[in-house]
Amino acid sequence: MPKPRKATHHRAATAEIREAAALYSAGSLEPERAAQFDKHLQGGCTVCPSELRAFQETAVQLAHSLPERKPPTALRGRLMDRIAPKALARVLVRAGEGAHSSPPGSRA
Amino acid sequence: MGESKAAQLAVADSRAGLAAGGAREAAWKDYVGRCVLEDPAALGNLYDESSSLVYSLALRVVGNEADAEEVTLDVYTQVWRRAAAYDPERGSVTAWLLTIARSRAIDKVRARAGRANLEQPFEESCEARTHAADPEEHTAMRQQRRRILAALDTLNPDQRRALELAYFSGLSHSELAARLAVPVGTVKTRIRLGMMKLRELLVDYA
């Protein structure tokens, strides 16, 4: 008979959960506590993820408080250059598939 | 009308701005989905519409344009490579992008010898905030900025300072406590209360 699993789920958001989620979202939970919280989240709790999501969406609003600054125009080109090899490889693979008349649904 | 009431009204206004934000988020989810299919145009679209937000945060954290550009490139490269890892159940695309950006930016600052940016007085590191916003700033973004600034104005100044310092600097509790010359417990309390108040005021976004 399997041993009963230790409960890792919360039934409702407690003050402790809210504090952990709030501090985690603000980036100020100590690393050890943050690791524990991560582990708990991965354990399948249904309460903490929704609390965390709400606080994370709140925290990122802080970024919206900043004056908007556009990156230099050339940065977009640098990004596209950086991702180009992968995109190009995909095009070549597809071209190769077509050249060999692969049957529908087959993979090279 | 009291300042607090005015701020609450400012936070509560502009349903149109919220709707615009929802439409924007839906479009960004679509772009991420197309990045999974390796569609470079989708990454280009996402970059065009969100890079100002990412770059502004990166610039605020790292304090110089060269590093902010590198962080921005790293963010979208990660989006391209890891688009399949995005889970809409865990948060918005906006939150995903900004969480990556903040993390990358703080890593960049920490990698610098002497952690110069993290150790300088907070007011000096706020220089980026005094830069004029781009005159072509998107209307929805501008409305959203007004809402968060109004919400921040309702916080106790100590809470606001602790919260902004924590979010934009990545300092640990003990470092924050030293910087603010208060006990660690006080730092935690200020951040927690500030976050709870913001969540309450920005519930539409949270």
Domain ranges within chain B, ordered by starting residue = 3-154
Residues A87 and A49 in one domain: no
Q: Å from A84 to nearest chain B CA?
A: 8
Please determine, for the modelled complex, whether the ipTM score is greater than 0.90: no
Counted domains in chain A:
2
What are the pLDDT digits (tens) for B137-156? 567 777 888 889 999 999 99
Shortest CA distance to B38 belongs to which of A64, A53, A87?
Answer: A87
Residues A61 and A78 in one domain: no
Residues A12 and A59 in one domain: yes
What are the pLDDT digits (tens) for B64-120? 999 999 999 999 999 999 999 999 988 899 999 999 999 999 999 888 755 444 444
Q: What is the pTM of this model?
A: 0.77
Residues A27 and A60 in one domain: yes
Give the pLDDT confidence score for residue A68 in this predicted structure.
87
Region of poorest pLDDT, from A7-11, A41-45, B44-48, B199-203: A7-11
Is residue A29 included in any domain, yes or no? yes
Give the pLDDT confidence score for residue B129 in this predicted structure.
45
What are the pLDDT digits (tens) for B51-61? 999 999 999 99
Residues A14 and A55 in one domain: yes
Query: How distant is the alpha carbon of residue B205 from its chain centre?
Result: 13
* Residues in A touching B40 (Cβ below 8 Å): 80, 83-84, 87
**Which positions of chain A have pLDDT values less than 70?**
1-13, 86-108
Q: Å from B206 to nearest chain A CA?
A: 5
Residues A36 and A49 in one domain: yes
Residues A55 and A79 in one domain: no
Residues A103 and A57 in one domain: no
Architecture of domain B3-154: Orthogonal Bundle (1.10)
Rounded Cα distance, B205 and B22, in Å: 9
Residue B125: band (very low, low, confident or very high) from pLDDT cuts 50, 70, 90: very low
Element (H, E) at A97: helix A74-99
Q: Which among B195, B196, B200, B203 is the top mutation candidate for probing chain A, defined by the most A β-carbons within 10 Å of its own β-carbon?
A: B195
Shortest CA distance to B48 belongs to which of A27, A70, A11, A24?
Answer: A70
Is residue A14 included in any domain, yes or no? yes
Is residue A63 included in any domain, yes or no? yes
What are the pLDDT digits (tens) for B94-107? 999 999 999 999 99
Is residue A2 included in any domain, yes or no? no
The range of the structural domain enclosing residue A43 comes to: 7-67
Q: In Å, what is the CA distance from B24 to each residue of A28, A31, A57, B11?
A: 29, 34, 15, 19
